[in-house]
Amino acid sequence: MRRGAWLATLTLGGLIGWATTGLFPRPPLPPWEAVTSQWGARNAVAAVVLGARLYDTLLEVLVFSMALVGVRWALRPLPQTEGRPPVAESPLLERAADVLLPAIGVFGVYLAASGHLGPGGGFPAGAILGSGLLLLALARGIRALARELPQPLLSRLEYGGLAALIVLGGGSLTLGWRGAWLLVLANLLILAKVSTGAWVVLEHFAAHRGEV
Amino acid sequence: MEGQVATFLASALLVLGLGTLLSRRNLIWKLLGLNVASGGAALFLVALGHRPQARPPILGWGPGPAADPLPQALVLTAIVIHFATLALSLVYVIFLTEHRHTQDVPKLEREEGG
Amino acid sequence: MTTLVLSLLALGLALFALRQRRLLWGVVGVGAHSLALAGVYLSLAAPDVALAEAAIGFGLVTFVYLLALRRAGRLVVAATPTYPLLYQEGERVAGLEWEILKKLAQRLHRDLEVLWVPREEIPRLLAAEEADLAAGGFLPAQSETLPLSRPLVPTRLVEVRVRPGPLGAVAGDRAADALPRGGRRFEDEEALLAALARGGLGGALVDLLRFRDWHLRGKLPEVELSQFPEELSFHFAVAPGEEEAILPALEELLDEMERSGALEDLLRRYLG
């Protein structure tokens, strides 16, 4: 049984490897430069994500939100761990988090806002901002940080960001809005959505499983 | 050359991940295997969009042919979605662990029958 | 060239991670693999993807796994109380085997739980997977074919003779195998000792460790001893369904403890 499973996957992998090593020539690229400048971008990936394939992106953001709703909803009936006394972290980590977090925040916003010009965009920027929050959480303790952060603002950012993104996407799809402003705005909204989403996951896991 | 190396890596990761998914009994090991396999699938798409000597698909970034931006855009969102769905599946693993006190799949199935 | 090196690195890390036994190492290995994969993306002219993979695969995903694998269910130990190996001290459980079991549970991220059961029940509990491990001076009987750990503590059977009369032993134990005709089987040690004290029994077949315990507790008057020549030892036994999950981890732990001398310390502390 186990050997059969390994054999089957090996055959599959071999087939994929064989089929793609030059048997099929790569198709010529579409005129991506023209498309990119038409959407007011310099980074073609941003033009695809937020322009040519906006439907995909909107639906993927919806999937992301649904998964987060699932995380919240499925963890609710489970018992929460009692707040253990937070382990005293080294002062170095605490200080480093204080110094690094503003830098990471600025870097994240920069990456999102300049995503249509160079590498970056809302998705990686949101993940980086989420990692920054993770660093701060490691220094202070997740639950202590959860009390410090303004919760209403966070949920407003999360759901408001989603709603604004849908409005923006709808305008672009039906009314034909386009231009650099649209890309910047959409990237910033995705940044808000993804970073708050990452924070929600961390906070809920920590509430039910204890601090790290 | 780079594209071919990456394609081989992608299929190897796919095999490794799927094999782990099928052969391990613990749910978290299965998820780790799925994690590696999905990385392989993403890499496969990006490798298909690669051209020999390609540069990033950003206007004004040097001469030469550019990589195909479409698979890159696809993979970019897929990675983020993968994080969210992974969190959701881990939540269900936690749920099972709290209620049934095991993460072993054959054991979970047997208890369901009995 | 860089792609080749980074690809080999990513593949090697994935192989390393997925072949581990401990989940913790698997998670850390997959995190490092993600970082190498981000390098591959970068060399494939996909900087956006590389950024996302590095931030998510290396940071957030690893962290979420770490939080999720803090508790992986229960590790149920079926045991008979045996004084220096595994016994109750008021509410607490203590003993040589307990120290090893605690370390094992920590490695498997499971919560330890002990079921105190008569010796005879243990094989059935393990076969039904109601317990994962057997401990507490477990001497495998000849008819039992459970997967065993390495020998922990060497011992022998002894015949303890108090007066002429039939011999007794604990049912299911190795000693019960050696019982001559007319011997009587008792549910547990206490019942055996009580029968000895009442005088209905001529003597008992036990292992050296339990005999030492009885002797120290002053449960035995003048006795006549004769040892069996066969050399035995105490083991942990593992439920057949859990063999792959637990036995390698247990052996690895015992290996490490043997090498660092921790096992020897424990033996000296508990057995003198």
Contacts of B5 in chain C (CB under 8 A): 3-4, 7
Chain A, residues 77-116, CB within 8 A of chain C, namely 111, 115
CATH number at residue C178: 3.40.190.10
C131-149 pLDDT, tens digit each? 888 888 788 887 778 888 8
Sequence-distant contacts of C100-107: CB under 8 A, at least 24 apart: C100/C236, C100/C253, C100/C254, C100/C257, C100/C266, C101/C75, C101/C77, C101/C133, C101/C135, C103/C253, C103/C257, C104/C75, C104/C246, C104/C249, C104/C250, C104/C253, C105/C75, C107/C22, C107/C249, C107/C253
pLDDT grade for A211, boundaries at 50, 70 and 90: low
Name the residue type at position A141.
Answer: G
Are C24 and C89 in a shared domain? no
Please report, for residues A161, A182, C75, C205, the alpha-carbon distance to residue A47 in angstroms, rounded to integers and kept in the order given: 20, 11, 53, 84
Residues of B in contact with A26 (CB under 8 A): 48, 51
Q: Looking at residue A21, what is its pLDDT?
A: 64
Rounded (5°) CA angle C170-C171-C176 = 80
The interface pTM score, or ipTM, of the predicted complex is 0.93
Q: Does C53 touch chain B (CB under 8 A)?
A: yes
Q: Are residues C160 and C185 in the same domain?
A: yes
Split at pLDDT 50, 70, 90, the class of B25 is: confident
For residue A192, the enclosing domain spans 43-77+87-209
Decide if C3 and B56 are in contact by the 8 Å CB cutoff: no
Residues of chain C with pLDDT under 70: 221
Q: How far is A171 from chain C (nearest CA, A)?
A: 26
- Chain B neighbours, 3+ Cβ pairs < 8 A: A, C
Q: State the residue range of the domain holding C183.
A: 154-231
Report the number of distinct structural domains present in chain C: 3
pLDDT per residue as tens digits for the range A63-115: 999 999 999 998 888 877 755 544 555 677 777 778 888 899 999 999 999 98
Chain C residues whose CB is inside 8 A of the B9 CB are: 7, 10-11, 40
Residue C33: φ, ψ to 5°:
-60, -40
**Averaged pLDDT for residues A189-204:** 91
Using a CB-CB cut-off of 8 Å, the residues of chain B touching A208 are: 94
Assign a CATH topology to domain B2-113.
Helix Hairpins (1.10.287)
Q: Shortest CB distance from C49 goes to which of B13, B72, B97?
A: B72
Number of domains in chain A: 1
Q: Does A57 fall in a domain?
A: yes
Query: Which tens digits make up the pLDDT trace of B69-98?
Result: 999 999 999 999 999 999 999 999 988 888
